[in-house]
Amino acid sequence: MQNYQEQERFREEDVEQEINIRDYFIILRKRKFIVFTFLIVIFLITVIKTFSTVPIYTSDTDVLIERNNAQSGLERQYYSSYDPDFLDTQSAIIRSAKVARRVVDSLKLSTTYRSFFLEGKNDTPSFFSDIKSGLQDFVEKIIIPLKGEVQGEKRQNGEGSGLSVEPLSDEDTIASMVQGRLLVEPVKNTKIVRISFSDKSPAIAKLVADAVAKAYMEEILDMKLTTSRYALQWMTSKAQDERKKLEASEMAMQNYMRANDLVTVENKLAISPQRLTEFSSQLSKAQTDRRVLEGVLKQIEAAGKNVFQLENIPLFAGNEVLKSLRETIFKSRQNISELSKKYGEKHPVMIKANDELRELISQQQAEINRVIAATKNSYELAKSQEKNLEEMLTSTKGELLNLNEKFIQYSIMKRDVDANRVVYESLTSSIKKEGVTEQSQSVNVWVIKNAALPGAPSTPNKTSNLAIGLLLGLVAGIGCVFLIEYLDNTIQSEKDLESRYGLTVLGAVEKLKEKSKNIESYIVQKPLSPLAESYRLIRSGLLLSSAEHPPRTILVTSMGPGEGKTSTTINIARVFSQGNKKVLIIDCDLRRPRVHSVFAMQNDKGLSNYLTGNLNENIVHKVAGEEIFVITSGTIPPNPSELVGSKKLKVLIEKMAENFDFVLIDSPPVQSVTDSLILTQLVDGTVVVVKAGVTTYDIMQSGLKKLKDVQCHFLGFVLNGLNKSHSAGSYYSGYTAYYAKDNVG
């Protein structure tokens, strides 16, 4: 294939090409209908929901809540001034059922303002409420019998006997509604809590918001009064018990100290760990010294009587006496060496020198023996010292453990005494405080902003809702478009082919919008149409596809069926014939031939009959009114692959190439059968037809690999069935408008 080896690396790497902003706009324009659909549907839903919602008014009041730090006794002992959850806890109390019930009782919502909460159920229902009530009735009809069966089973099993659920009173129902419409939010970085209440009536919203703040203050005070009364009773009773515990624990500790002489134990406990540390340090040093001496003795034993090996041991090498003897022996040997040059061995001078050398060696050996003996004595002494230190350390440990046991028990008893004393003193101090119910109030509350009558509804915010609906519809549509585009694995444009595979695209053929027209005859009927021009561009690409001369025998194939290879073959033949060229079409699709049906020819005698040797007459037929000749497929044979691979077909193609300017061969799809792969070896080049929006990248990758394996000479792609609205950036955007006037009529 042309430039196939150089371009293969692009396909193997399969690198994602950078997408610029213009590509995103192309994708959106291609699928703009989806974007508009989502936009309109979501926007209409938002409009209906917004304008059908009953307006709600919200009124709010601000209260300052802080902990009272002037607390008494136990509270000051066990509560710190910093409590990150304090405002959240107070907010939960404001939203509690007790506060809501206080609001109902104080405002008489169940009587005076009953119509604002309960009577609304008798109003004329709206369309949406009818649907909602109908669904609720349907669900109840299904669920209630099931509940009855379950409860019946429980009664049979002895469960739930004697229990009955009473219906909620009007007060409890309204209190629950107040809870549901109440919003309590702490203001960030302040001690202020904002209480908001929402209702269809602005007056009710203001009234309830103020009442909630008042009910909360009453609930806080009631909680504290109840707690204080109980705490006082409990502390009085508890103080008596704690006093007895304190006296008993003090007496028990005093008796224990007297029995175990703990006054002196504390001094011993301070000294013993110090002695233990000293003994451990001395033992470690003694063990180290013993190991060092033991190592030296092992080196001495390994050296034996070898003086030279002994002298290499650091103990002997550092001995000053041995150093001096070694130097003297060395000089003596040098003297003997010099004297031996002048005198014989029995000369008196030589005899004297040898005697002196032997004396020095004897002194050296004596010194070595002395060092060895001293080392052994030091080793034995170190062993004895190590043993003594181990005994002293063991004795000290036993003594310290005994002292620790006594002192641990003393510490336990002392902690009991201290704890009892703290509790007793705290209880006594709390009882003596005056004004427990008022002065020890743990929370201070001030209303710093009363609720105001709302002038406009808080919900729905029509402008905001419509803007959000518009934005949401646009985002949903765009997101859906890009999701579909991401999941779309088909080839859509020339740019996709060129950027992904790096191969030539001869041209693109627009999808024929007029369903009543036949694409095989369209360029004959409208030779100046953009469709005809696209085939002329393909013809130009084929003529320029080879450096020396244009290919004369061209195979047209595709990756799969239905991608337009037959119509492409016929239309390319027509544009060649319009240039005064003699063109032959050979229908080599011996399985599903179509060429004969396009030209309305008989197909009882054709290529298959010629290749099997059952036909000797001329099989080339001329198309009426055109300079196009056709060899039809003939009778469908049982073994098409064997016929296509026969030598007779090769000879036929070569012979036809001599008689015609161009020979176009229509073949089966590459992925279906091997016929096309065989035919690529019999032609000058191969054209692959790709259908936009149908041919997938996976199929294309597999098919191109098969063509590469047979070393096909690839002329280029023809992109068929291109949607003009999807072809932004291709040559269609340039010439379609120019030739649009030729497409009329």
The total number of residues shown for the chain amounts to 745
Lowest model confidence (mean pLDDT) among 146-160, 449-463, 701-715: 146-160
The whole-number pLDDT of residue 139 equals 55
SS3 content of the chain, % helix, strand, coil (to 5): 60, 10, 25
pLDDT digits (tens, 9 = 90+) for 428-479: 776 666 444 444 557 888 888 898 888 888 888 888 888 998 899 889 888 8
Indicate the pLDDT class of residue 81, thresholds 50, 70 and 90: low
Angstrom distance (rounded) from CA 619 to CA 632 = 8
pLDDT of residue 143: 52
How open is the CA angle 409-414-419, to the nearest 5 degrees?
130
pLDDT per residue over 250-289, tens digit each? 787 777 777 766 555 555 555 556 777 877 888 788 878 7
Tell whether the model's pLDDT for residue 732 goes beyond 70.
Answer: no
Encoded tokens for 627:
């300079």
Average pLDDT, rounded, for the chain = 77
In the chain, the domains with their CATH numbers are 4-12+491-738 (3.40.50.300), 262-432 (1.10.287)
Predicted confidence (pLDDT) at residue 45 exceeds the cutoff of 80: yes
Strand partners, 557: 688
Task: Return d(Cα 584, Cα 620) in angstroms, integer.
Answer: 8
The dihedrals phi and psi of 80, each to the nearest 5 degrees, come to -95, 160
Q: What is the pLDDT of residues 337-385, one digit of tens each?
A: 888 888 877 888 888 888 888 888 888 778 788 888 888 888 888 888 8
pLDDT at 460: 82
Tell me the whole-structure pTM to 2 decimals: 0.48
Residues paired with 716 in a beta bridge: 687
Q: What is the pLDDT of residues 306-315, one digit of tens each?
A: 777 777 777 7
Q: What's the pLDDT score for residue 68?
A: 73
Beta carbons of 534 and 509 less than 8 angstroms apart = yes
**Whole-angstrom distance, CA of residue 2 vs CA of residue 504:** 9
Tell me phi and psi for residue 312, to 5 degrees.
Answer: -75, -15
Could you tell me if 524 and 738 are in contact, meaning their C-beta atoms sit under 8 angstroms apart?
no
- 447-471 burial, b if ≥16 CB within 10 A, otherwise e? beeebeebeebeebeeeebbeebee
Average pLDDT (510-538) is: 76
pLDDT of residue 134: 60
Q: Give the span between the Cα atoms of 738 and 15, in whole angstroms.
A: 36
Asked whether 181 and 204 are in contact (CB, 8 A), the reply is no
Express each pLDDT in 328-344 by its tens digit.
Answer: 888 888 888 888 888 87
pLDDT for residue 135: 60
Cβ–Cβ < 8 Å for 558, 679: no
How big is the CA angle at 724 (ends 723 and 727), to the nearest 5 degrees? 90
| Amino acid occupying residue 286 | A
Backbone φ and ψ of 513, nearest 5°: -75, -30
Band the pLDDT of 62: cuts 50, 70, 90. Answer: very high
Element (H, E) at 736: none
Report pLDDT for 71: 52
**What confidence tens digit (pLDDT) does each residue in 202-239 have?**
888 889 989 998 998 888 888 877 777 777 677 777 77
The confidence band for 604, taking pLDDT boundaries of 50, 70 and 90, is confident
Q: Are 696 and 489 in contact (CB under 8 A)?
A: yes
Please write down the HEC assignment for all residues of 129-169. Answer: HHHHHHHHHHHHHHHHHHHHHHHHHHHHCCCCCCCCCCCCC
